[in-house]
Structure 1
């Protein structure tokens, strides 16, 4: 819950954590949380730490960099490591603030390196900022090759920056070559995986890759156009991606040996949804999604295991989404009240959501469908799909390869002979 909240609004998320006593309200405690807690959006970490209007965030930034060991690394490699912990913002002032903190930390970790500079941390700051600009210049996709910065340009730009002196040419050439060979990239997070899923889906799909959204599970189900009409087995097969706030229905569009492309069919925001189960002579493992009295979608699972696992994950995701909406509504009312707005004129939250909150106080079951752990999933084509084997447990985070229905580990020493239709990575 608090991860979802942080990934939507970092300041509100931190306030919630402190209020619920999950976190001490001190910059060192918040900084350790941002460095170590998996499942946080790198983009939102960067936004929180560069909130220039917040003295508390600025203090958190100083403690944040102190949590990262930059010892025995050249400046560019240390900066590369530093940038793995957050996504670099676009505003120059924010980048400058990050580089100031980085340069102080680098100087503290590498006194023997900075001692060769006349102006120590200040020179590291200028060099770090220049490295960021160089990385942008060398790796901007549409910039023509003849317009990109050459090594001599890079060296020329840094002439006399060391309190009137020059940085050793060999150091600068080494930095240039390494940046040219390998672009700086933010460390992967749950959004990285969602982006990979999005790239496999064609059609008029919504933007899936937003900071608060994480993949909960992937399941193969079957759409039911008419619950009272028999269908041939396997008809209307759907590949269902369940996120923590959205259900996305797709169909296999194109299948290759190692990848699958999906055609977008429909998406359903989870807020306010209800799920009921049904069974009749035609569909033994049915699921009905409703909003109010309206039935939005009927599905059928291949077996009871798939239906039970998907139902468990979907109900938890709906409860989480509804609880988040409730918290945001209360937060907005409090802000409006503080600003003098007549709260009585604000549209009240629905009774159904209040009922859900009463019945579903956030007691997390440690869902293996959650990507709070930072684990990623590999969807690989499996022609021998069989519903009666337990899903393969991922021992290490493999790469999402963008295909169909099997969760597998590229590092595991053994693989199951077949797989379930419903998959999610384990909670660590």
Structure 2
């Protein structure tokens, strides 16, 4: 009896010691949960983060992970305030996702001040790894340069050498117009006009009429989410493509096309870093995700949250601590990236995650076998061609070589 008690006591002590030895990690998923980007990120990003923790087997590797989430409402002041609260009072170690570039730039600054970690999946501005780069930030999924190189370059090669932009009037839209303009002009095209649209907006009719009147061969939509959906729907109502002008969705996600349906979006050329039906690994993940999340397939942003959490946890496991965000980000850059959704890759010194991008075309209704069978692949763009060369970004963390 005494022996059994002693053994039980020893086992209990070992379990207590193991629990005490676990490294606490608190992950904050901060995004749009109620506005134009909710379908792109929202609760689906939280689902993806939970799946990453589960697939990483964090508890078995000595990590005690907690996930919290909040809605930044697409407002930089709200996002910055939430980040400060999370870092100062709630013990959050890393913030993920953060669509809306103006919010992401604010979060990056707060994260640097607090020496925490920020792994962005949702925002587009390439300034996150350019002039406003930070040793505490990784930009994971896509950016405005990669979108411009993909869709912008492809449209010019197809003969779309004159452009008119409808540009969301905030940091993301402005960066996307800037970077696409550079690609268009480099390839011999020209921009004949542009108009800034309120963010967000439901009525694009007057802006589309200006674009139609410009005679431009391509109308570039430098917006995203609900704004892109509304603009494409209204362009179809106006018969713009039937009149010979092409619509270039410069940031389009599978959730947008699913909402539009191939009937409306057919023929649209777009660039994404992830699509659920790319290969066996993406299909397996996406089927699991859909079973958890109301039958919906994951977007690229949600996939980026998954990949970002996996790699962040690898770095924390190696360091056995999440407390010094700068050290964790440095370890993430040191370790090669590898996950089932983006494959093998690297994170550059400026914080840019490098992986392939894909040029897709939306299928015609007759080609689509089910509501999520949306794209056919036109080209694979190698990561070193898709993203801006580090020497051209102006990031003060790196040299010019």
TM-score by length of 2: 0.28
Which structure dedicates a bigger proportion of its chain to helix? 2
What is the TM-score with the length of structure 1 in the denominator?
0.27
- The structure whose Rg is larger is 1
- Bigger strand fraction: 2
